Every structure is written in structure tokens, then in C-alpha cells.
Amino acid sequence: MKIRVEIDDRLNEDEEEVVIRCSSLSEEVMMLQKQVSEIVSSKLKLEVFKQDTVLYLKPEEILFLETADNFLAVHTAKDIFSAKQRLYELEEILPSSFVRISKSAIVNIATIRSVKRNITGPSEIEFEGTVKRAYASRNYLKQLMNRLEEKRLNK
Amino acid sequence: MKARRILFGVGLLALAGGLVGRKMGIIPYIDIPTIILGVVCVILIGDGLKHRNFFLILLPLAFIASRLVFAYSGHTVFEAMGIAAIAAAGLTVLFGKKRKSIGSRNRGYINYNGTWGNNGAPGQPGGFGGAGGQGGAGGTGTEIDKNRFVQQPGFRSNGEPVQDNFGYPDDDGDNVVIENGFGKLTRYLHSSNLKKVKIDNGFGNCIVYYDNVYVDQDGSKLEIDNGFGQVDVYIPPFYRFKMKQDNGFGSINVYGNCSMDPNAPLIDADIDNGMGKVNIYFG
């Protein structure tokens, strides 16, 4: 596979793009796409609100995002903010470390300390350095555990 | 709490009676799981009577009847409960209470005779909540008759309208009531002068965050009544916390540390937990 970088001075930062030209969607291409999107989304800063203050959060600061009370709550270790986007919109732009754990919540697996499994109900997720908890519903638990295992093996 | 204690007491007495009856051979065909389920049914019937919930009354009644009375008549438990469910639906349609919101209710107060102006704007005719409103008095706000309040959402107990926050949900007012039956309910509290929060949870999972909350100078009350479910309450660590607990067979846990500053506003909690779990988190 050839790698080519074209530099065009006329482009703005928001016009920059990465195009992968390939004959088929192979595993290698998918891996490449994942890596590129990881780098791109790591630059992302999420616009959030606390009363009349606008803040810009790095994804790694976020523990989980949850829709409740008709607003999107963004949880960090010590605070709660609101975001204007919808949960599915953020799911698309956030890095791959963000995994859906229920219909109304997405969690950052990089911040998870433990998952207390519960066969009859939602499983409790604990985070590093905070008392906050999130709950993974049974439908999404397998996917979460797979992603955690994937993360562990990659380390 | 008294009613719940009576329920548990009656339930345990029924369990003891059932076991004695079984031992003496009076009711030989009842096994221990049925007796335990019977006790749970008695508790549910009590709750159903308390809240006038016909499903909660008739379904356990049908279960008990099918296991005890009609045990040898060929009727199955499912048949009996199916009939009970239909009957309960019919009774609910005829005599049921108005449907309450499963989510949450906010309470504020407003003078019902309509002497409120619209935020005290000059010359605004007609107030909230009543005919014959006189409007605001020249931009200075209006007088509030504190003895003649009816509850309206979006108003404080001193009559002030709550303010909206940019990019944030509306203020909840100073008295908040959260009710959850089954399922999961997450609630973020926003109040600039919180006085009381009442959480009533049955079987579900209720999570409450003191998100953007300023507790009243005189402190704030937190009342939690939990039956069989789980209640998680997240309180910022800069408030003092006092707790009175009444725990049945469940558990009440506190995680993290509250403020020890004697000048910090106090949250005075009264927790009544039946067989569920109540967790208080500071952080």
C-alpha cells in the first residue's frame, strides 16, 4: 500500500481530509481507518455547558454521557455538564473508547475501574477516582465486556 | 413508615402462621416457597390498598387463591392471574385514580387568586393560575398572599418564579418530589434555593443527582422512601449531611465524605428503606 501526503496551502484546517483508496474493505483498511479516526477524534473537544458557561472538554475527561430529563448530561469525575447534541450524534464523533451501555448512555471504557455483573438487572460500572456509577443494561453488557477485553489485550 | 412496619409485621406473622399450620398438618400441601411468596403477596396487597392499585391487590390475591383455595380444582396459577389482571384493568378503568406521571413532579407555589403579574412586568393583565388577575404592579413585582397558595410548577414557595438557565434545563423550584414505580429513572436537580427533595421509589432504580443545586441557608430536607428497588443519590461533597435511617431488610450505604465545615448548608436526610438498597454518594 502506498502512502501519499498532498500539501495544499489553500486548504483551511476544517477542509483537511484523509481519503483511503482501496480495492476492497479489508481488515487492514478497516484497521487503518480506525487508527486515523482515533487520531482525529483525540483532537476533538466537546462543547458543554454549565449554567451560562461554555466549556470545552477533552474526551478523556469524560466518564459517561447520559440522556435524562430531556437533556444530555456529560459526566466527568467531579462535575456534570450538559451538551446540545443528541447521544447518537456524539456516539459517531467520539473516539472508539466510547461504548454504548444502554439506550440512554455511553461510557468511556478508558476510565472504567470495575464492572459488577448482575444477571437479573443492569450491571454496575465503577470509575477511577470518583464515586460515580453508571449502569450497563444486559443487552449491551456483552459488547462492553468484549471492548474491555479488547482494550486489555491491546495493552 | 408506620404502615410499612405494619405490613412487614403482618407478613412475618403470616409466615409464622403458615409454618405452624404446615407443621401441624392443617395445611399440609403448602410448601415453604409458597408460604414465602404468600407473605410477599400480602405485602403487595397492603401496598396496593394503600395506593389504590387494583393490579397490586388482585394479582397477589389471585396467586394466593390459586395456590390455597383452588389448589385441587384444576385451575392453574396463570389462569387465575389472567382473570385477575382483566378484572383489575376493568376496576382501574372504572375506579382508578388519575394517572400520575411516572417521572417526577415539581412543586412550586402561587397565589391562586391571580394577583400575580407576569414577572412583575408593568401593566400585564391577568396573572397565572386564576381568573380576574390584576397584573403586575408597575414593574416592582406584586404582593403575595402567603396564606392563599396553590401549587404550580415553576414557582418557589415564596412566590418567586424560577429562572431558566442558558444551555441548561429549567430550575426545578425549591420543593421537588420524585416518584418511580418500576424501571429506571434518572433525575438531575437544578435549583437555586433547594428546600426539600422527596424520593419515593417502589421496585425500580431511581438515580438522583444534585447537579446544579444551591441548598437553602436553613438547610434542605431529603426524604427517601424505598420499597424493593434501588435509590442512588449524588450529593456534592461541600454540603454537611445528617441522616436518620430506618432500614428493614435492605441496605443503606454512604460513599465518599461530606463536608465537616459547620458553616456549610446541611442536608437533613430521612431514609426509610424496606427491602431495597439506598446509596448516598458524595462526589
Domain boundaries, position B36: 2-95
Same domain, B139 and B197: yes
Rounded distance between C-alpha atoms, residue A154 and residue B252, angstroms: 39
Contact B168 A50 (CB under 8 A): yes
E strand or H helix that includes residue B10: helix B2-24
For the segment A12-40, the average pLDDT, to the nearest whole number, is 83
The set of residues, in sequence order, having a beta carbon less than 8 Å from that of B245 and lying 6+ positions away, is: B252, B271, B272, B273
Q: How confident is the model at residue B68 (pLDDT cuts 50, 70, 90)?
A: low
Domain count, chain B: 2
B174 and B89 in a common domain = no
Say if A140 is an interface residue toward chain B (CB within 8 Å).
Answer: no
| Res B107 pLDDT > 70 | no
Same domain, B20 and B111: no
By the 8 A CB rule, do B248 and B275 touch? yes
- For residues B88 and B137, membership in a common domain is answered with no
Per-residue pLDDT reduced to its tens digit, B182-219: 888 898 888 888 889 999 998 888 999 998 888 887 88
**Contact B164/A at CB under 8 A:** no
Cβ-defined contact of A66 to B186 (cutoff 8 Å): yes
What is the separation, in whole angstroms, between the first and last Cα of chain A?
A: 27
Q: Say whether B168 and A49 touch across the interface (CB within 8 A).
A: yes
Is the same domain home to B32 and B150? Answer: no
Q: Residue B156 — very low, low, confident or very high, per pLDDT cuts 50/70/90?
A: very low
Question: Is residue A7, in this structure, part of any structural domain at all?
Answer: no
Type of residue at B259: S
Chain B residues with CB under 8 Å of A130 CB are 283
The answer to whether residues B247 and B177 belong to one domain is yes
- Answer yes or no: do A121 and B205 touch at CB < 8 A: yes
Q: Residues B84, B203: one domain?
A: no
Whether B234 sits inside 8 A of A132 (CB atoms) is: yes
More confident residue, B28 or B98: B28
Which of left, alpha, beta for B128 (phi over 0: left; psi -120 to 50: alpha)?
Answer: beta
Q: Which of B72, B95, B118 is the last residue of a domain?
A: B95
pLDDT at B252: 92
Between positions 195 and 224 of B, the ones with CB within 8 A of A are 205, 209, 211-212
Last residue of a domain, one of B95, B130, B149: B95
Domain that holds residue A75: 45-154
pLDDT at A143 over 80: yes
Domain final residue pick, B95, B126, B156 = B95
Q: Are residues B80 and B146 in the same domain?
A: no
| Nearest one of B212, B194, B181, B193 to A73, comparing CA atoms | B212
Predicted model pTM: 0.59
Count how many Cα atoms sit within 13 Å of the Cα of residue B50 in the half-sphere of its side chain. 13
> How many domains is chain A partitioned into structurally?
1
Same domain, B242 and B116: yes
Residue A20 has pLDDT above 70, yes or no: yes
- Count of CB atoms situated within 10 Å of the CB of B269: 22
Residues 115-154 of B with CB under 8 A from A: none
The pLDDT score that the predictor gives to residue A131 is: 92
Mean pLDDT of B18-35: 69
A5 at B interface, C-beta within 8 A: no
- Give the ipTM of the model, two decimals please: 0.76
pLDDT of A67 higher than 80? yes
State residue B111's pLDDT score. 28
A126 vs A142: CA distance, rounded Å: 17
**Model confidence at B97, in pLDDT bands (50, 70, 90)?**
low
Select from A47, A87, A49, A84 the least CA-distant residue to A67: A87
Query: Given CB atoms, is B253 within the 8 Å cutoff of chain A?
Result: no
Q: Which residue of B has its CA nearest to A67?
A: B186
Query: pLDDT confidence of B4, banded at 50, 70, 90?
Result: low
